[in-house]
């Protein structure tokens, strides 16, 4: 037994979704479990270092963890959205996908310069999305030095790539492989 095996047991693995060879780690089953979700947030809060002004969540599952975590941390919530969804003036960042490109955005006035931001998502795989989010927050004047995930897929190298950007990375659980 390791520390977060109780949470790991609440995550369902769906093979070959969304395409052959991918083991999809489905966290919706953890969200359905009141104790499991509460424990997830409690353990993420305990792993947070120092004072945080904003918890930044990556669309869409990241929003759930960011919003819940912001409450015990007494922080605000910064939405990192897919491009084209935010109504006000935005700044955006592109990142590479396996096939093609994607773009995330925040409101250009969402951050006061020097705001301390904790980045949160459900899962880190290649880290492409999280690294783009870090670039975006830094471009907007925020200070981001830590990121938290429920799940890490260490064989895909995303957490290590994020550490190279001077981010302290924590994940409650990890799964081998893709």
Going by C-alpha positions, the residue among 29, 48, 9 that lies closest to residue 173 is 9
Here the tokens at position 78 are: 């910064």
Which is closer to ligand AMP, CB of 141 or CB of 157? 157
The reply to whether 43 sits near ligand AMP by the rule CB under 6 A is no
Give the nearest distance from C-beta 92 to ligand AMP in angstroms: 16
The reply to whether 122 sits near ligand AMP by the rule CB under 6 A is yes
Q: Which of 7, 10, 11, 25 binds ligand AMP (CB under 6 A)?
A: 25
Identify whether 98 is a catalytic site residue. yes
Which is closer to ligand AMP, CB of 49 or CB of 178? 178
The reply to whether 161 sits near ligand AMP by the rule CB under 6 A is no
The reply to whether 125 sits near ligand AMP by the rule CB under 6 A is yes
Give the nearest distance from C-beta 109 to ligand AMP in angstroms: 25
Q: How many residues at the interface with ligand AMP, by CB under 6 A? A: 17
Please identify every residue annotated as catalytic: 61, 98
**Contact residues for ligand AMP (CB under 6 A)?**
22-25, 58, 61, 121-130, 158
């Amino acid at each position: 037994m390791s520390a977060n095996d109780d949470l790991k047991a609440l995550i369902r693995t769906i093979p070959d979704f969304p395409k052959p060879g991918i083991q999809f780690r489905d966290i919706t089953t953890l969200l359905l479990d009141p104790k499991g979700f509460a424990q997830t947030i409690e353990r993420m809060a305990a792993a947070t270092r120092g004072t945080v002004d904003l918890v930044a969540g990556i669309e869409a599952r990241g929003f759930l963890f960011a919003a819940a975590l912001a409450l015990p941390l007494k922080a605000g919530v910064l939405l990192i959205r897919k491009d084209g969804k935010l109504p006000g003036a935005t700044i955006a960042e592109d990142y590479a996908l396996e096939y093609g490109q994607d773009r995330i955005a925040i409101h250009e006035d969402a951050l006061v310069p020097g705001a301390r931001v904790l980045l949160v998502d459900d899962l880190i795989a290649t880290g492409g999305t999280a690294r783009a989010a870090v670039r975006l927050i830094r471009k907007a004047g925020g200070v981001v030095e830590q990121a938290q995930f429920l799940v890490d897929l260490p064989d895909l190298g995303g957490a290590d790539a994020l550490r190279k950007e001077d981010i302290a990375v924590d994940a409650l659980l990890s799964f081998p492989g893709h």
